[in-house]
Amino acid sequence: MKLAGSMAEARAMAQGRVGLVPTMGFFHEGHLSLMERSASECDRTMVTLYVNPLQFEDPADLARYPVDHERDLELAAAAGVDVMVIPDPAEMFLEAPLTGVSVAGIGDRLEGAYRPGHMDGVATAVTKLFAGLQPDRAYFGRKDAQQLAMVSRLVHDLGFPTEVVGCPLVREADGLALSSRNVLLGAYREEARALSRGLLEAARLFEDGERSAAAVEGAVRNALPPGALDYAEACTAAAMEPVDRLEGEVVLAAAARFGAVRIIDNVRFTVDGRGAAADRGVWLDRPSVLYDADPAGADPAGGR
């Protein structure tokens, strides 16, 4: 695996069909599955590792975001990555840019409403990476369903010649959706399982024939301790618009806070001419590589 310190350097290493996995590092099996998928489908797989300050509305959240480049490089090399791009912050957003990208509607709701500036920060960073690296394909996990919907629309609207590939959400063995932030949960780890428990209960209701959005949203709300839930909302997978009935491609997206850590998760429902299916993601059958590391800046008590 080669290292690139700028996008120009990375572009010079491109060859054939280029697959890009944009990340903020501290890899887990969700990231690694995107890298492996790209490596199996593309001639060159590039991973960007950049903790994008534009998408952190809370400086304390940015400060505690786990970082371990050495560990990330080892994991990425083993996953078949060809080029690891760690851009110099000066090339990215050391200074706040005067130009920003926002995707109206998709970027305003849910995460956009609860984390002002977050979705625009993601859209601006992804646009910059796509412009600088010009990948043929870009791989995103379905755990960030709203991000996936937003990036797909951004690519369509701005005409990037990049195919956006959505990949399965990966869960830890106990159901918690994998996120680099899970290492920060500390004493809240057990309580945080309530979010996936609620979503999995919603998927069970759906498979038993429930088609009311309010009913599946209620299943998530009921699973959570008082005050923990930010939102549980059924919305269209492409535009993230709220729905009343579970028809077509619907994402039941949810976010909750446990101590100082906020996590998101979702399940996906499809109802079409061929029938009905719930996509809960895939499960790890072993402890995540997340726990092999001691993240710099992690608060073992999760703020408790």
Q: Which is nearer to ligand PAF, 83 or 223 (CB)?
A: 83
Q: What is the gyration radius of the CA atoms in the chain, in angstroms? A: 19
Note whether 21 binds ligand PAF by CB under 6 A.
no
- Using CB under 6 A, pick the residue from 125, 155, 219, 298 that binds ligand PAF: 125
Q: Mask: binding to ligand PAF, 237-276, rule CB under 6 A, as x and -? A: ----------------------------------------
Answer for the pair 103, 61: CB distance below 8 angstroms, yes or no: no
- Using CB under 6 A, pick the residue from 10, 34, 73, 122 that binds ligand PAF: 122
Q: Which is nearer to ligand PAF, 36 or 217 (CB)?
A: 36
Could you give the CA distance from residue 107 to residue 116 in angstroms, rounded to a whole number?
A: 10
Stretch in the footprint of ligand PAF (CB under 6 A) among 85-93, 121-129, 190-198, 291-299: 121-129
Answer for the pair 14, 44: CB distance below 8 angstroms, yes or no: yes
Could you give the CA distance from residue 67 to residue 294 in angstroms, rounded to a whole number?
A: 9
Q: Which is nearer to ligand PAF, 48 or 196 (CB)?
A: 48
Structure tokens at 70: 């050495």
Residue 142, phi then psi, degrees to nearest 5: -75, -5
Q: Mask: binding to ligand PAF, 50-89, rule CB under 6 A, as x and -? A: --x--x----------------------------------
Could you give the CA distance from residue 252 to residue 198 in angstroms, rounded to a whole number?
A: 11
- Using CB under 6 A, pick the residue from 10, 18, 20, 24 that binds ligand PAF: 24
Q: Which is nearer to ligand PAF, 224 or 290 (CB)?
A: 290
Q: Least distance to ligand PAF from the beta carbon of 226, Å?
A: 30
Q: Least distance to ligand PAF from the beta carbon of 31, Å?
A: 8
Q: Which is nearer to ligand PAF, 128 or 257 (CB)?
A: 128
CB-count burial class (<10 Å; 0-12, 13-18, 19+) for 225: exposed
Does the annotation count 69 as an active-site position? no
**Sheet with 83-85: strands ordered across:** 2-4, 83-85, 44-49, 18-23, 137-141, 163-167
Structure tokens at 72: 């990330």
Structure tokens at 291: 């726990």
Residue matched to tokens 């959005």: 213
Local structure of 119: helix, strand or coil: helix
Answer for the pair 145, 266: CB distance below 8 angstroms, yes or no: yes
Q: Mask: binding to ligand PAF, 143-182, rule CB under 6 A, as x and -? A: -x--x-----------------------------------
- Binding residues for ligand PAF, rule: CB under 6 A, are 22-24, 52, 55, 122, 125-126, 144, 147
List, by residue number, the catalytic residues. Answer: 31
